[in-house]
Structure 1
């Protein structure tokens, strides 16, 4: 099979490329940074996996127009080109944040999208365009909404949390009680491959998440366990913390309101739909196994 991957130099792209090549599949890198990218798309292939995009900037310093130019307009142009080829499948990597900045209960696919950030709005507008298009016979469209993706080589909030525990700094946000879904990059790659090889899977929107969810406090304990340290959890008033981080909204401090939200909010995502479509009960890695693999990788740096 032949896979055309955009964003192949990013964290997910590199992992997916390795995963597919280990399966003996052909992977073609498609850079959308080149003005003539449309001339480099193969006329035939198994799937375009569109990973390239502008990520959410928690420092809120990005040009807002860039979100729409990259996440929406570029996706539309790529999809229109896809329709003119003999490539069978088109995967658009959106985000759970395209439909909900906050979640009450468990997030499912048919929720009405109400994003508040330019990132979320640009993603949902791309989704809305794709879902209104007619697909020629034999072609499939998959809109993938992953939750927080992690794995070896990832430098996100998990790495920040790791450094806090590694340095013996007490975790000051223990008063925030939450439940969060995560997505191991290994489980992500597995799901993509299973969709491609299963020709009976219907086009549609699918959430990607690990089977279980954990709290941030549980994560701190898990990191401490792997490091052979005793966890230090401080339960400082959540109201006081929320007031203090507002300073970071103005000054370039490590913690601002947006980062606090990412670290402490509850955000549970259902993966029931994709598992039902594939006829599987469990993903290869549990949430804890995936997180342990990621955390252990931080020790090498």
Structure 2
């Protein structure tokens, strides 16, 4: 199987490229930074390249639309004019909802609030508006928070908190969140490529179980051999501190507080039903432990 991947230099791209190569796929990377041309004889095109969500809110809005929307349009047009069978576009759950009550599934009416989410949704809408030639397939993948050995972000921040013995001051916030292990992501992409009976469409990618942030702190403590300490400080006080952080650039701001404490549960039932499986290879807790243990070697 000959596969082209854009964004292969990123965390997901590097891992997916190696995984597919290990599975004896012929994989090549395509940079979209300057002049580019796709290999029109490939079997699949996986579009990972994009501008990630900037939680510090320092990026210009137009950058999201130039990269996430317009570049995706051009790439998809090239795909339609090629012999490539499968187009897999990595969108995001944030293309449909920044916050969610209950459990997010693919039937949710999309209403993103950020430039990032809007740029991803516009790209999705363009792809879906095109007539797909007979024999071709289009998959819009909406992953939740992806993690694995080698990646950075809020998991790394939480790890440092526990490692240094700092009490977790946000225990008053009860939530349930979905995560996505890079191992499960890789598995799902390969299964889609191999199984030609899976229909085109939008598919959420998430681990099977929901994990609260308080539970995550405990998992980090157990995985790193450190004692986790949970403090139930008044939620109102924490919210006020985050608002101060918005103005004077503290480590805790409203966006980061939201990411750390909000509930965001994502259903993966549709993709599992399509693959006719009951569960993914790696449990949410197993994946998190693997990621956390990787921080210890740094």
Hey, what's the Cα distance between the residues in 2 that align with 1:133 and 1:45?
A: 21
Partner of 1:180, secondary structure, is coil
Match of 1:216 among 213, 218, 232: 213
The match for 1:29 is: 29
The match for 1:8 is: 8
1:248 is displaced (CA, Å) by 1.2
Hey, what's the Cα distance between the residues in 2 that align with 1:130 and 1:227?
A: 44
Question: Are 1:159 and 2:185 matched, yes or no?
Answer: no
Hey, what's the Cα distance between the residues in 1 that align with 2:234 and 2:6?
A: 44
Hey, what's the Cα distance between the residues in 2 that align with 1:161 and 1:152?
A: 15
Hey, what's the Cα distance between the residues in 1 that align with 2:170 and 2:40?
A: 52
What pairs up with 1:1-301 in 2 under 5 angstroms?
1-34=1-34, 36-37=35-36, 39=37, 41-301=38-298
Partner of 1:224, secondary structure, is helix
1:122 is displaced (CA, Å) by 0.4
TM-score normalized with structure 1 length: 0.98
TM-score normalized with structure 2 length: 0.99
Hey, what's the Cα distance between the residues in 1 that align with 2:196 and 2:145?
A: 27
Partner of 2:217, secondary structure, is helix
1:25 is displaced (CA, Å) by 0.7
Hey, what's the Cα distance between the residues in 1 that align with 2:128 and 2:248?
A: 41
1:43 is displaced (CA, Å) by 1.6
1:253 is displaced (CA, Å) by 1.2
4+ aligned runs moved over 4 Å, structure 1: none
Gaps of 5+ in 1: none
Deviations 1:251-281 (A, max 9, x none): 1211100000000000000000000001001
Hey, what's the Cα distance between the residues in 2 that align with 1:10 and 1:197?
A: 24
Q: How many correspondences in the alignment?
A: 298
Hey, what's the Cα distance between the residues in 2 that align with 1:288 and 1:254?
A: 27
1:225 is displaced (CA, Å) by 1.1
Hey, what's the Cα distance between the residues in 1 that align with 2:42 and 2:18?
A: 18
Moved more, 244-253 or 187-196: 244-253
The answer on whether the counterparts of 2:139 and 2:202 sit within 8 Å (CA) in structure 1 is yes
1:88 is displaced (CA, Å) by 0.5
Partner of 1:213, secondary structure, is coil
Hey, what's the Cα distance between the residues in 2 that align with 1:121 and 1:179?
A: 24
Gaps of 5+ in 2: none
Hey, what's the Cα distance between the residues in 1 that align with 2:184 and 2:248?
A: 38
